[in-house]
Structure 1
Amino acid sequence: MMVNMKLVIQRVTNASVEVEGEITGQIEEGLMVLVGFGQSDTEKEADYLAGKLKKLRIFPDEEGRMNLSVQDIGGKLLLVPQFTLYGKTKKNRPSFHKALAQNEAAKLFDYFLEKCREDVECEAGVFGAFMKVSLLNNGPVTILLEKEFDE
């Protein structure tokens, strides 16, 4: 089994991404998602995780139970590309050799963003840029979502 695409999902009251002093993405209630791609990732993984992300029930219903999705509450997504999710720390200096190559990852990030935008309003960070990410975690609720595929 190969572990592929990774999402670190945080339920937020608000979040934003800044690049060189300029806000490139900003949301109110919704999900701030760090998005990382592994070497074997394809559109198949992006399709699966985009669907799962939009339907993930981690917002409270009237009884306070996590029973509503970002779609259910009319929330937004802030997607932030993050190759460091593939950092291996066997040694003191992380190695990122399992991350997808930059050109391929940029294309797959754009594809993933478009898949998410089919059903949910989305903002995004800038692929390959140095970003300052700000957020107010709501809960806090943080979920790691990844998918193992057998081929």
Structure 2
Amino acid sequence: MSSAKIVFQCCMSAKLLVEEGGSETTINKGLIAYVAFLKDCSDEALHKIAETICTVRLISDSNDRLRSVIDSPCDLLIVPQFCLSGKLKGKCFQYHTAVPKVAAESLYSRLVKSCDTFLRSSATWLSKSCKLSYGTFGIRQILSIETNGPFTHVVEL
């Protein structure tokens, strides 16, 4: 059974505004990871999710080779996206496979910390002054993205 759904999107830059008039975070070239946790998500799965986010090879380098966030190195933006856990039934979405809100918020917080630890273990990533940014769980957020083409992937782990 799956533990999470993730949508990966490469970007030239992105800006995440937490509620209208709230705080703002920005990244330069990098990867956006939208994450929803499913009922079977465990601590072991959480480690695998963090490792996948940091090591998936989706970002093109100057030689058009695909690199990961940690290898490229580049920025990473993690955005909680509960709606990814929905399944279409008829004309409506149902969210029976989603982790309850309190547990999902805890998983999200631990995922961000795990990604931070993973990235900070890379001297290359640290030496390039790359940035890990993340959204806030459970509230509306406004996301602006600049991309250089449709390059979006959906993964279930």
Contact kept, 8 Å, 2:7 with 2:35, in 1: the verdict is: yes
Q: With the length of structure 1 as denominator, give the TM-score of the two structures.
A: 0.88
Aligned twin of 2:16: 17
Aligned twin of 1:83: 82
Q: 1:130 aligns with which of 126, 131, 140?
A: 140
Structure 1: gaps of 5 or more residues: none
Distance 2:50 2:147 in 1: 21
Q: With the length of structure 2 as denominator, give the TM-score of the two structures.
A: 0.85
After TM superposition, list the pairs within 5 Å mapping 1:1-151 onto structure 2.
2-18=1-17, 19-66=19-66, 68-118=67-117, 119=119, 121-147=131-157
Contact kept, 8 Å, 1:10 with 1:143, in 2: the verdict is: yes
Superposed displacement of residue 39, structure 1: 1.1
Percent of pairs with identical residues: 30
Distance 2:148 2:99 in 1: 31
Distance 1:140 1:23 in 2: 28
The residue type paired with residue 10 of structure 2 is R
Superposed displacement of residue 21, structure 1: 2.0
Distance 2:40 2:91 in 1: 25
**Any runs of at least 4 consecutive aligned residues in structure 1 with deviations exceeding 3 A, and if so which?**
none
The residue type paired with residue 4 of structure 1 is S
Give CA-to-partner distance per residue, 1:82-126, whole Å, 9 cap, x none. Answer: 110011111212111211000000000000000111116311111
Distance 1:8 1:138 in 2: 17
Distance 1:136 1:106 in 2: 28
Contact kept, 8 Å, 2:88 with 2:94, in 1: the verdict is: yes
CA-atom RMSD in angstroms? 1.5
Contact kept, 8 Å, 1:24 with 1:126, in 2: the verdict is: no
Structure 2: gaps of 5 or more residues: 121-130
Superposed displacement of residue 60, structure 1: 2.0
Aligned residues: 145
Distance 2:98 2:39 in 1: 5
